[in-house]
Amino acid sequence: MSDQNDKLKQLKTSSMDRRLSIAKASLLAGTRWAASNASTIFSNEEEKEKKRKKAMKEQAEYLVSEIGKLKGSIVKIGQMMALYGEHFLPEEITQALNTLNNQTVALAWPAIKQQLVSQLGSKLDELTIDHEPIGTASLAQVHRATRKSDGLELVLKIQYPGVADAIDSDMNLFKNMLKLTRMVPQTREFDQWFDEVREMMHREVNYRVEAATTRRFAERLRGDSRYVVPQIIDHFCSNQVLCMTFERGVPINSPVMLSLPQERRNKLGEASLEIAVREVFEWGEMQTDPNFGNYLVRLGNAEDIPDKIVLLDFGAIREFDQQLLTVARNLIISGYHHDADAMVNSMTGYQFFNAMPQSIKPDMAKVFLLATEAFSSSSNNPDLPEGVMDEQQRYDWKKSQLHSRVMQRASKSMASRYFSVPPKEFMFISRKFIGAYTFMTVIEARTNVRKMITPFL
């Protein structure tokens, strides 16, 4: 962690401060954009495209560096746009927004302590709190603590003062900023998507809801030795502080993961995907932020203690309506049977599909059949690439390169030209599965995912 001098003394939360910073950034970006466009008038098409891309990249990077200085909800909004935006934002913008993750600077201890005193009062005397954060994010930072009475190890997620109140004005700022720079299509779908992000932001700062959700998932997974969910310690929770037990583990992308025997990695891969399958088929709600920072792996041993997945963050939970769940299940089951007609027939009963011209559906079905390739089998799917599935129907995630193949196929699809912004629910579900797929690719797991669907057929 950096030394104290690198930390922020306080956040720029006054809306005037923030408005000025953003307006300045957007206007500069807008004028640079106009200038770069003017300079390409006499270039040929290829040159124009090259210059346009370069200008857009510079624009986006400049905007992001300005946003990064503000911290708080505006950064989180940028991160969400990066996460889901690959479906509808220019690549240069999502790449620049992606770097926001690495730009969060910690808030210095005196400011954090002040927030803790206002939230927990004299209860603070019952804890010993480490002044150095173990994690910083755009809306909160996390500090380790110990309960003095019994030495129980805890973590406190402490929300930055003022961020919850700034969400709505920050959302409007961000939206205006994108409008000013003219880098994004201004459509009705884009507005709906923005409202969705606004709602997600409000949920993200609601620690009472997050505590209840954490308990719900803990209850569902109780007795399953493959998972660990932290226990919420109510006594030290408030509207802006969330307290739970400290759970040990190694990050998913730590080198030690790849040194595990193949069999153990396969089991971890199965456990990670099984959660996503049960969310769609059984629980009807989903943890929609598959960021690697939300998971740890607690290593067991080869004999009697299994490896466990530690699930850390339940701030981004979505409940889905029955109609959507039915559609999602039918799409997955059509992929299981690798049946193109069934896939086309599944594409109905939901506004997004009902509005889609029938002529586009077969083309779209091919994208879905590819995305659900791992659920098919070597006997029913002649399109499986050589060697990606063994005789035990275990799918080799690293070899399959599935994510990039799906993205390629989707960008060529007629549907991608038909929709400027896909419906938000599909972004959540696809993002969740991409998260699980990436997890398995990173740990080089080979997993039989068919058997997870079989109980729900």
Distance CA 212, CA 163 (A): 21
Same domain, 272 and 177: no
- Among 44-48, 131-135, 228-232, where is mean pLDDT lowest? 44-48
Q: Is the pTM of this model over 0.85?
A: no
Note the pLDDT tens digit of each residue in 136-182: 877 899 999 999 999 999 999 999 988 888 888 888 877 877 776 66
What's the pLDDT score for residue 2? 44
Distance CA 96, CA 78 (A): 10
Same domain, 52 and 122: no
Q: Is residue 2 part of a domain?
A: no
Same domain, 321 and 275: yes
Distance CA 272, CA 440 (A): 8
Please indicate whether residue 199 or residue 418 has the higher confidence score (pLDDT): 199
- pLDDT at residue 65 greater than cutoff 50: yes
- pLDDT at residue 10 greater than cutoff 70: no
- pLDDT at residue 19 greater than cutoff 80: no
Confidence of residue 3 (pLDDT cuts 50, 70, 90): very low
- Among 23-27, 87-91, 204-208, where is mean pLDDT lowest? 23-27
**22 closest CA partner among 191, 197, 175, 182:** 175
- pLDDT at residue 430 greater than cutoff 60: yes
Q: What are phi and psi of 42, to 5 degrees?
A: -95, 5
Confidence of residue 31 (pLDDT cuts 50, 70, 90): low
Burial environment of residue 69 by CB neighbours within 10 A (0 to 12, 13 to 18, 19 or more) = middle
CATH number for the domain harbouring residue 151: 3.30.200.20
Confidence of residue 35 (pLDDT cuts 50, 70, 90): low
Show which of 222, 247, 272 is a domain's final residue: 247
Instruction: State both tokens at 402.
Output: 């599935």
Q: What's the mean pLDDT in 210-235?
A: 95
- With a pLDDT cut of 70, the percent of the chain lying above it is 82
Q: What's the mean pLDDT in 204-224?
A: 94
Q: Is residue 406 part of a domain?
A: yes
Same domain, 131 and 49: no
- Beta bridge partners of residue 319, listed in sequence order: 285
- Beta bridge partners of residue 310, listed in sequence order: 228, 296
Q: What's the mean pLDDT in 277-291?
A: 86
Note the pLDDT tens digit of each residue in 287-309: 877 777 788 999 998 678 889 99
Q: Is residue 232 part of a domain?
A: yes
Show which of 198, 224, 247 is a domain's final residue: 247
Q: What's the mean pLDDT in 62-78?
A: 71
Same domain, 312 and 422: yes
Average model confidence (pLDDT) across the chain: 83
Sign of CA dihedral 197, 139, 319, 313: positive
Q: Is residue 10 part of a domain?
A: no
**Size (the chain), residues:** 457
Same domain, 28 and 71: yes
Show which of 195, 229, 247 is a domain's final residue: 247
Distance CA 201, CA 24 (A): 24
Same domain, 309 and 373: yes
Same domain, 214 and 280: no
The most confident of 38-47, 65-74, 92-101, 411-420, by mean pLDDT: 92-101
Q: What's the mean pLDDT in 64-74?
A: 68
Q: Do strands 250-251 and 241-245 pair parallel, antiparallel, or not at all (unpaired)?
A: unpaired
Same domain, 343 and 422: yes
Q: Is residue 88 part of a domain?
A: yes
What's the pLDDT score for residue 1? 43
What's the pLDDT score for residue 193? 80
* DSSP H helical ranges for 160-279: 163-181, 188-204, 207-221, 255-258, 262-278
Confidence of residue 43 (pLDDT cuts 50, 70, 90): low
Confidence of residue 103 (pLDDT cuts 50, 70, 90): low
Same domain, 240 and 301: no
How many domains, in total, are found in the chain? 3
What's the pLDDT score for residue 4? 43
Q: Is residue 4 part of a domain?
A: no
Same domain, 130 and 224: yes
Domain that holds residue 223: 108-159+206-247
Q: What's the mean pLDDT in 410-433?
A: 73
Same domain, 398 and 301: yes
Q: Is residue 91 part of a domain?
A: yes
Q: Is residue 6 part of a domain?
A: no
Please indicate whether residue 403 or residue 308 has the higher confidence score (pLDDT): 308
What's the pLDDT score for residue 435? 82
